[in-house]
């Protein structure tokens, strides 16, 4: 080890901070593809929240939509896989026909659940948080019920998308190489996240649809008076937003893993909501917040898997492993509490819109 570094590390107390910095520098760039992978469902969930809440509809059922989509995609894959025994998979991403239909089915279910949420919260003007809670309970119950029934037959999944391997000369570039590794060493869903984030950011702030969406979320009555159909726009946006949560679910059971477990979303739908709030209801901001949470997920895993040597490592390993597993949840609370006072939601967020009778 460099003598200067070992001297820095040796300072009492302050040396620990240097050790931590050294550990982060050594850990985070190589783990960047893992961080991006962990961030993917959070970002997609947060985008679902952004579109819905920018148009005034709160959706805490993101968790449930993710879970239902993850299950649907997985089970459709299980059913279709035997029908295409010698289906060729593409060399990049490992796309097969069953997997493709499985993703479509996952998105379809997400669309159906979103339609229910839209109908309850826009047409019936029911409490949107309760509607979301029902979605969460129902998704957990139905998937666990069906999974128990199906588990007896030891189902064979249709596999998962594989990650693209960027060429070494690209990832080996000095300074920026790990960024290419982060965004390109990914499966198809994860790789499309950055495109979706940037696209949605432009769409929301530079397009007619975006302007109308924000108008409906801030002041629906004013939007209605200039001729925007508030009800229809909210319906359309809630449906579109559901597709993002559905894609997050498909990612969990068909890209991150190739299986389904009861409750496998593990609160990601709610961390996504926190990312949305911390990111101030913008796609880019939500992406940044999701990356922050994902970094702590990866860090927690890394500390359990390969703690640093020396004094810092001794301290880290003396803390129970479960603490590092819970790190993303703890960080979410702290960041949310620290940031939320300065993060202002759309004015009409969560308020049902009642149209004044026209005739």
CB of residue 54 to other proteins, shortest distance in Å = 13
**Closer residue to other proteins, CB minimum distance, 191 or 215:** 215
Contact assessment for residue 161 and residue 187, using Cβ atoms and an 8 Å cutoff? yes
Question: Binding of other proteins at residue 350 (CB under 8 A)?
Answer: yes
Residues 6 or more apart whose Cβ sits within 8 Å of residue 1: none
Stretch binding other proteins (CB under 8 A), from 191-199, 226-234, 236-244, 264-272: 264-272
Helix orientation angle between 283-305 and 268-278, rounded to the nearest 10 degrees: 130
Question: Binding of other proteins at residue 330 (CB under 8 A)?
Answer: yes
**Total residues interacting with other proteins, rule: CB under 8 A:** 59
CB of residue 185 to other proteins, shortest distance in Å = 28
Question: Quick one: which of 104, 115, 179, 336 contacts other proteins (CB under 8 A)?
Answer: 336
Question: Quick one: which of 111, 115, 150, 231 contacts other proteins (CB under 8 A)?
Answer: 150
Q: How many other CB atoms sit within 10 Å of the CB of residue 222? A: 12
Question: What sign does the CA torsion over 13, 19, 21, 27 have?
Answer: negative
Question: Binding of other proteins at residue 343 (CB under 8 A)?
Answer: yes
Tallying the residues shown for the chain, one arrives at 359
DSSP letter string over 234-274? HHHHHHHHHHHHHHHHHHIIIII-SS--TTTTTTHHHHHHH
CB of residue 318 to other proteins, shortest distance in Å = 11
Cα separation, 265 vs 68, whole angstroms:
10
152 to 138, 148, 149, 158: CA distances (angstroms): 22, 7, 6, 18
Q: What is the per-residue binding string for other proteins in 94-133, x denoting contact by CB under 8 A? A: --------------------------x---xxxxxxxx-x
Question: Quick one: which of 1, 3, 153, 169 contacts other proteins (CB under 8 A)?
Answer: 153
- CA–chain centroid gap for 351, Å, is 25
For residues 6-25, which are near other proteins according to CB under 8 A? none
Q: Rule CB under 8 A: which residues touch other proteins?
A: 53, 58, 60, 120, 124-131, 133-134, 136-138, 140-142, 144-146, 148-150, 152-153, 266-267, 270-271, 273-274, 277, 320-323, 325-326, 329-330, 332-333, 336-338, 340-345, 347, 349-352
């Amino acid at each position: 080890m460099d003598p200067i570094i070992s001297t820095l590390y040796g300072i009492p107390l302050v040396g620990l901070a240097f050790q931590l910095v050294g550990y982060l520098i050594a850990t985070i760039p190589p783990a960047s593809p893992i961080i991006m992978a962990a961030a993917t469902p959070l970002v997609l969930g947060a985008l679902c929240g952004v579109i819905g809440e920018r148009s005034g509809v709160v959706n805490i059922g993101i968790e449930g939509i993710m879970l239902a989509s993850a299950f649907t995609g997985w089970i459709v894959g299980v059913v279709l896989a035997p029908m295409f025994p010698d289906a060729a998979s593409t060399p990049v991403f490992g796309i097969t026909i069953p997997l493709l239909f499985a993703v479509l089915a996952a998105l379809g279910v997400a669309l159906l659940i979103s339609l229910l949420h839209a109908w309850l919260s826009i047409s019936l003007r029911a409490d949107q948080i309760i509607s979301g809670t029902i979605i969460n309970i129902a998704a957990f119950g139905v998937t666990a019920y069906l999974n128990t029934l199906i588990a007896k037959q030891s189902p064979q999944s249709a596999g998962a998308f594989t990650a693209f391997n960027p060429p070494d000369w690209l990832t080996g570039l000095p300074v920026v190489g790990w960024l290419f590794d982060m965004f390109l060493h990914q499966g198809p869903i994860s790789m499309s996240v950055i495109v979706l984030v940037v696209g949605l950011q432009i769409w929301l702030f530079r397009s007619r649809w975006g302007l109308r969406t924000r108008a409906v979320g801030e002041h629906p009555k004013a939007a209605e008076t200039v001729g925007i159909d508030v009800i229809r726009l909210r319906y359309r946006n809630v449906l579109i937003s559901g597709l993002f949560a559905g894609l997050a679910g498909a990612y969990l059971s068909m890209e991150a893993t190739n299986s389904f477990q009861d409750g496998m979303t593990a609160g990601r739908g709610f961390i996504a909501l926190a990312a949305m709030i911390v990111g101030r209801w913008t796609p880019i901001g939500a992406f940044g917040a999701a990356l922050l949470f994902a970094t702590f997920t990866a860090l927690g895993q890394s500390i359990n898997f390969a703690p640093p040597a020396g004094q810092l490592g001794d301290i880290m390993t003396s803390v129970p492993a479960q603490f590092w597993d819970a790190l993303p949840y703890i960080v979410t609370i702290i960041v949310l509490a620290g940031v939320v006072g300065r993060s202002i939601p759309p004015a009409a967020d969560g308020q049902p819109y009642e149209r004044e009778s026209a005739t």
